[in-house]
Amino acid sequence: MTTITMENISYQEDIRRKTSKPLIWIGIVSIIMFFGGLTSAVIVSQGGGEFLTIDMPFAFTISTVVILLSSVIFHFGLISIKKGNYAVAKISIIATLILGLLFIATQYMGWVNLYENGVYAVGAESTQESSFIYLLTALHIAHLVGGLISLIIVLVKTIKERYTLDNMLGMQVSITYWHFLGALWIYLFFFLKFIIA
């Protein structure tokens, strides 16, 4: 009898194929619960009666357009790889990466705008609602950084032409997470707009 070793490459590939997507989906569920908890906290706090409204910075609207566009372009990259067009795929992924960074920049612009209007994140002059705006957006960015790292890995693999029609699992996982980040932002945007702003 032969011992099955875990170092067997085809075995590991098989496991990866079976488990990568479910792993990211369940990870996404836990992130949804995390933000669900925080946004519920906003609603519970609002019940206290002392909740003030805050003007939403226009930069956050630009963020929304940017992240939606990035999702569309990333998807276009996936389609290009399926067609074997690595050159277009590379450009799409680079564009997604740039849009991701632009998203962070517009978020930062929004914060500057809030700060200039006397809406503070922390300290004695902060209020519950002002802190929530900064916290929710910053935590979204923290998750987006994970997405950017995965984008860089996908970019390297695309440059090396590692993805094939049968094997583009890494890219599919990355794109799932990226779309989720977009959806999460849209939720936060409307939540902030209608609940706090």
Partner 1 sequence: MSTHHHHAKDFLFTYVFSQDHKMISKQFLVTGFLMGFLGLVMSTLFRLQLGWPGESFEIVELLMGSWAEDGVMAPDKYLALVTMHGTIMVFFLLTAGLSGTFSNLLIPLQVGARDMASGFLNMLSYWFFFISCMLMLASLFVEGGAASAGWTIYPPLSALPQAIPGSGTGMTLWLVSMSVFIVSSLLGSLNYIVTIFNLRTKGMTFTRLPLTIWAFLLTAILGVLSFPVLLAAALLLVFDRSFGTSFYLSDIYIGGQVLDHSGGSPILFEHLFWFLGHPEVYIVLLPALGITSEIISTMSRKPIFGYRAMIGSMMAIAFLSFIVWGHHMFLTGMNPFLGSVFTFTTLLIAIPSAVKVFNYLTTLWKGNIVFTPATLFSVGLVSTFISGGVTGLILGNSALDIAVHDTYFVVGHFHIVMGLSAIFGMFAGVYHWFPKLFGRMMNNKLGTLHFWISIICAYGVFFPMHFLGFSGVPRRYYTNSEFPMFDDMLDINTLISMFAIGAFIGQLFFFFNFVYSAFRGPKAPQNPWKGNSLEWTSPVEHFHGNWYGEIPHVYRWPYDYSKVNAQGEYVYGEDFIPQTTPLGEDEKDGGH
Position among 79, 112, 122, 145 found at the interface with partner 1 (CB under 8 A):
122
User: Which amino acid is located at 137 in the chain?
Assistant: T
Instruction: Supply 11's token pair.
Output: 């075995």
Position among 9, 87, 116, 124 found at the interface with partner 1 (CB under 8 A):
124
Selection from 113, 119, 149 nearest residue 133 by Cα: 119
Q: For residues 23 and 159, which CB has a smaller minimum distance to partner 1 in the complex?
A: 23
Q: For residues 69 and 141, which CB has a smaller minimum distance to partner 1 in the complex?
A: 141
Instruction: Supply 48's token pair.
Output: 């206290």
How deeply is 76 buried, as exposed, middle or buried, from its count of CB atoms within 10 A (0-12, 13-18, 19+)? Answer: middle
Task: Report the site for partner 1 in 11-40 (rule: CB under 8 A).
Answer: 11, 15, 18-19, 22-23, 26-27, 29-31, 33-34, 36-38, 40
What does the per-residue mask of binding to partner 1 show for 79-118, with x meaning CB under 8 A?
----------------------------------------
CB of 139 to partner 1, least distance (A): 8
Angle, CA of 106, 63 and 116, to the nearest 5°:
45
CB atoms within 10 A of CB 48: 8
Stretch that binds partner 1, among 53-61, 119-127, 156-164, 175-183 (CB under 8 A): 119-127
Indicate the length of the chain as a whole number. Answer: 197
DSSP H or E stretch at residue 154? helix 128-159
Q: Does 172 bind partner 1 (CB under 8 A)?
A: no
Q: Does 135 bind partner 1 (CB under 8 A)?
A: yes
DSSP H or E stretch at residue 88? helix 86-116
CB of 167 to partner 1, least distance (A): 18
Q: Does 128 bind partner 1 (CB under 8 A)?
A: yes
User: Which amino acid is located at 87 in the chain?
Assistant: A
CA dist 134 and 43 (Å) reads: 16
Residues that bind partner 1 (CB under 8 A): 1-6, 11, 15, 18-19, 22-23, 26-27, 29-31, 33-34, 36-38, 40-41, 44-45, 48, 50-51, 121-124, 126-128, 131, 135, 139
